[in-house]
A and B are shown apart, each in its own frame.
Chain A
Amino acid sequence: MRYSIFSLLRQSWAGHTGWTPAWRDAAPKSDYDVIIIGGGGHGLATAHYLASQHGITNVAVIEKGHVGSGNIGRNTTIIRSNYLLPGNTPFYELSLKLWEGLEQDINYNAMVSQRGVINLYHSDAQRDAYARRGNAMRIAGVDAELLGKEEVRAMLPFFNYDDARFPIQGGLLQRRGGSVRHDAVAWGYARAADRGGVDIVQNCEVTGLAIEAGRVVGVETTRGPIRARKVALAVAGNSSRLAAMAGLRLPIESHVLQAFVSEGVKPLIDTVVTFGAGHFYVSQSDKGGLVFGGDIDGYNSYAQRGNLPVIEDVMESAMALWPGLGRIRLLRHWGGIMDMSMDGSPIIDHTPIEGLYLNAGWCYGGFKATPGSGWCFAHLIATDKPHPVAAAYRLDRFATGRLIDEKGVGAQPNLQ
């Protein structure tokens, strides 16, 4: 059923008895053209675009748990395209443009909300670094504005401007950035892919990759073997484990990133803000909770939970930036597992195994990339050529040196 105010009112009158499952809980067939491993945002978006843009519908998305149970539902919901390097900016801008038309495309309200993203700066050097980035964005056709202290104060009057260890000097604003209701992205893409003919197979864990003569021919799963001509990995957090099934070692470490939400309060803050003198970023959800995050814990982990030092570090930054937060309470904290790559940028590429495609290494930028990642990964799988805006996301760039290192910290994932 198509979702609209009319169907909602009709169903509301009928006691909501006419709704059907948002997507079929499909049983796996024996054979597909494409198997996408991973029923998270990127995998589901890839399936949707394979069906809708490339007419490839004999596709299964294989998910070990339930749709959206990974990082798509464990992030801080921020979207933006405020990147510095030419390998990144056009990709994230494509992604942002896809966000802007997402709801109409998939007929699902994911609450894409372009309320702006501000990166605060606290020194002349940081201002110039943000100017460099803002200029790079403008050159790439992306909106960016460099704000002074008083302009920031007008937007965010309750921050600490006058008694701070690292006083706010201004900020880099991308008005088109914002936030999205994260779960709805997974559900909306799942529903759209399902309507496009894709099988979404839940509770089906991949236990092995079937490889014959250097070519992938299918997957082994807890629900039996499934053949496929092409297999695509979209399992960020677990990319190394899946790639190991094909004998590949990746330039990736898995790290835990914690995220936080406060109790709901009446609207306080309209934009997404990142603190420039510590690891802290914050926005407010439509439900009223302040959603915030910080740095990764810094050690390899698959545990989906972190420890107090980082929690306290985030809260310290919160109080330093916004001293009125003291009496608002932290409601929940949790962790997601990030694919931390060796230059902080992702990989969308072939692998050395024919027919095996890799979408990995999203570090903590994966959520905002969801539509763009699906779009470009579908393009790669369908055409065997990289999409122009994702052409830099090569697996071999660490060997060739064609890195996309926004922070300039080198091959140390826990600093990316």
Chain B
Amino acid sequence: MRIDCPHCGSRDVQEFIYLRDAGPRRPDGMAATLAEMHVYLHERDNPAGRHRELWYHGSGCRAWLVVTRDTRTHAVFAVEALPASVESAST
């Protein structure tokens, strides 16, 4: 399997580490309930089909990426860099 890193180009899956589904947002720990944090942490999207997921290019540019992939065929539809950090947020 290969992942087309937006920073590094097409690379072997061996360079990447999978984490989890990309959809759920971490709730603010001061505002959220325990139940909400439990749902965020444990209840995962797990479809047979198109899936948005977080991958880390650990042996490459160290960027976290959002990969859209079919879990039945492993076909990759999109690899997106995360919204950039402070520079673009502040300009």
Contacts and interface: CB of A to CB of B under 8 A. Distances in A.
**Real binding pair:** yes
Interface of A: 238, 240-241, 244, 249-254, 298-303, 307, 309, 342, 398-399, 411-414
Interface in B1-55: 1, 12-14, 17-21, 34-35, 38-39, 41-48, 51, 53, 55
B18 A414 contact: yes
Given A301-B71, A303-B74, A414-B18, A252 B44 contact: yes
Given A298-B17, A414-B18, A250 B46 contact: yes
A190 to B, nearest CB: 26
A302 to B, nearest CB: 4
Contacts of B55: 299
A302 B18 contact: no
Contacts of A241: 46-48
Interface of B: 1, 12-14, 17-21, 34-35, 38-39, 41-48, 51, 53, 55, 69, 71-74
Nearest to A237: B48
A398 B17 contact: no
Given A301-B74, A302-B71, A309-B13, A342 B46 contact: no
B43 A249 contact: yes
Contacts of B21: 300
Contacts of A302: 48, 71-72
A413 B45 CA distance: 13
Contacts of B20: 253, 412
A399 B38 contact: yes
6 contacts: A241-B47, A249-B45, A253-B46, A300-B53, A309-B14, A398-B41
Contacts of B46: 240-241, 250, 252-254, 300
A303 B73 contact: yes
B13 A238 contact: no
A238 B48 contact: yes
A302 B21 CA distance: 15
Given A249-B43, A253-B20, 15 more contacts: A241-B48, A249-B45, A250-B46, A251-B42, A251-B44, A254-B46, A254-B48, A254-B71, A299-B18, A302-B71, A302-B72, A303-B71, A309-B12, A398-B38, A399-B35
Contacts of B48: 238, 241, 254, 302
Interface centre among B34, B43, B53, B55 (most CB of A within 10 A): B43
A399 B41 CA distance: 10
B30 to A, nearest CB: 20
A298 B18 contact: yes
Nearest to A307: B1
Nearest to A241: B48
A338 B55 CA distance: 20
A246 B88 CA distance: 42
B22 to A, nearest CB: 11
Contacts of A299: 13, 18, 53, 55, 69
Nearest to B45: A249
A188 to B, nearest CB: 30
Contacts of B39: 249
Contacts of B45: 249
Nearest to A304: B72
A307 B13 contact: yes
B74 A253 contact: no
Contacts of B1: 307
B51 to A, nearest CB: 6
Nearest to A243: B46
Nearest to B44: A253
Contacts of A307: 1, 13
Nearest 4 pairs of A and B residues by beta carbon: A240-B46, A249-B43, A251-B42, A299-B18
A411 B14 contact: no
Nearest to B51: A300
Contacts of B73: 303
Contacts of A252: 44, 46
Contacts of B12: 309
Contacts of A399: 34-35, 38, 42
Contacts of A253: 20, 44, 46
A398 B35 CA distance: 10
